Amino acid sequence: MKQVHLTLTEQTPLTQDVFRLVLQGDISSLTRPGQFVNLAIPGFYLRRPISVCDYELTNPDGTGTLTLIYRAVGNGTRALSRMKPGQILDVLCGLGNGFDLSRAGAEPLLVGGGLGIPPLYKLARELKASGIVPQVVLGFNTKNEIFLYDEFRALDCPLFLMTADGSAGNKGFVTDVMVKLSYTYFYSCGPAPMYRAIEKIATAPGEYSFEERMGCGFGACMGCTIQTANGPARVCREGPVFRREVIQW
Amino acid sequence: MVNTQVTLSGWTLDNPVIPASGTFGFGYEFSEVYDLNLLGSISLKGTTLAPRFGNPTPRIAETPAGLLNSVGLQNPGAEAVANEEMSRLSRVFHKKVILNVSGFSKEDYVGAVQALCRKDMVGLFEINISCPNVHGGGMAFGTDPDSAYEITRAVKAVADKPVYVKLSPNVTDITQIALACEEAGADGLSLINTLMGMRISLKDRKPILKNRTGGLSGPAIFPVALRMVYDVYEKVRIPLIGIGGVSSADDVLEMMLAGATAVQVGSANLVRPDACKAIIEELPHRMEAYHIESLSDIIGGAHHGT
């Protein structure tokens, strides 16, 4: 973890309430896809934890580009969506464990639902960079809520798009595709009902990324603790990614 | 050169700044951010005799200038704190710590304190009779003078270090509880714990916290804490540790003028991991600005001639 000041260079609406935020500065504390940052938003007491969609170190001094995709869902994130290029953000960077790439095997599967999709993007890029081509399944409620699809398509992986109402891609849920695929390991990020559905049909080991209301984001307040097979675990510190077998559903 | 030393029951601290229990874990996480030996001391995460998972999530809700928490005393139990957490911390922190102890019965408090005795690393015990997030214990003892007296007396009988009692602000008259603890032999008092509060989600039309209520902390409660330290200082002769929303060196000075000998910093650590370091570095400059040569000279200074 590192407390850094990053410069906002891009704020782009992707859907009605989903935004892409690009920041520049010291991102040297990021080590794996699936980590998160905790942003201070002027006027709000608590920071806002947001998963890392992508990052790229561009200089040997540890500086580079950080991309976040978030939904303006409350007063804090709505205020964040009004921040402009050139503004400086106070960021706790490099939080959480991230995905374990060493467990991918030859044919990993990435399964994302809605706002859970962003951290899978950097994961897909990293897997490809290491010579592994993942299969990717993305699920959205409806066509108007789709984001990041073109970026995934550009990665040239087997890609499946599902919408609950059938307005784009195939009609149905991510699990409707999953049951037809074979895979060595799965990585999933999305809402809890999606995890419960995956848990019923998954045929390989895998890991899920969790979300919880947080006080600090770095393990001090015990605000985000969940019970696991290994005992109490802080989503912000031992997580947010937990292996399938330790989760108590 | 200004003097930032203060003395709590014969134990001299390099400065009065102490991270508050529950906002600093067992210290270890913060050693990534700065050298913990800058601190006056550390008040460790509230410890109970048996391990506790705490309350279900959500445990955190934001408020104007603060937050609510309903963690519910999650901790690995007195045995693990004595044998594992303290030895891990001792690798990065070489000063004495404050052990914050909680319970659900007199026997719980006594048992936990006994398990934590005979440790050189302990400066004092801070007996938490003010946790608002557990049922049948915690705050129940801190809102009744007779119970506060009983717990204090029982712990005093077994503790091998000074006993400070951490008071709840959720009472009509905090000075009554303070006096009961002093009469029972408390060596000092820590105040205040969090104020009970609630937030409701408009979307879900129910309380945000799974436990419904939680304890309010942060800058929002600083004036309340300050007033209570001021009032208690008028009534008791034992030293006070001021707690509640402290976020800057100026807040430390204000708390000491109200009557605190030392000051704990809580929520500020959560939003700014280097908060205590920044306050300690700022303190000598603010002392100079207000012509304070020795911090211990200003304790209770706001009471003189008023």
Compute the nearest-CA separation of A77 from chain B (Å). Answer: 13
Q: Do A213 and B271 touch (CB under 8 A)?
A: no
User: What's the complex ipTM?
Assistant: 0.94
Cis peptide before A205 (omega within 30 of 0): no
| CATH T-level topology, domain A101-209 | Rossmann fold (3.40.50)
CATH 1.10.357.10 applies to domain A2-95: no
Which residues of B are known to be catalytic? 131
Positions of CATH 2.40.30.10 in chain A: 2-95
Positions of CATH 3.40.50.80 in chain A: 101-209
Compute the nearest-CA separation of A120 from chain B (Å). Answer: 25
The answer to whether residue B95 scores a pLDDT higher than 80 is: yes
Distance CA B2, CA A239 (A): 44
Confidence bin at B183 (pLDDT 50/70/90): very high
Q: Dump pLDDT digits (tens) for A22-73.
A: 999 999 999 999 999 999 999 999 999 999 999 999 999 999 999 999 999 9
- Provide the pLDDT for residue A227: 96
Confidence bin at B132 (pLDDT 50/70/90): confident
Residue A234: list chain B partners with CB under 8 A. Answer: none
Q: Do A45 and B59 touch (CB under 8 A)?
A: no
Percent pLDDT > 70 in chain A is 100
Residue (of B57, B47, B215, B73) closest to B132 by Cα position: B215
Q: Domains in chain B and their CATH numbers?
A: 6-54+71-196+216-303 (3.20.20.70)
Q: Do A227 and B53 touch (CB under 8 A)?
A: yes
Contacts 24+ apart (CB under 8 A), A159-165: A159/A135, A160/A135, A160/A136, A162/A137, A162/A138, A163/A139, A164/A139, A164/A140, A165/A141
The answer to whether residue B28 scores a pLDDT higher than 70 is: yes
C-alpha pair distances (Å), B18 with each of B98, B261, B262: 9, 11, 8
Tell me the residue length of chain A: 249
Residue B54: list chain A partners with CB under 8 A. Answer: 222, 225, 232
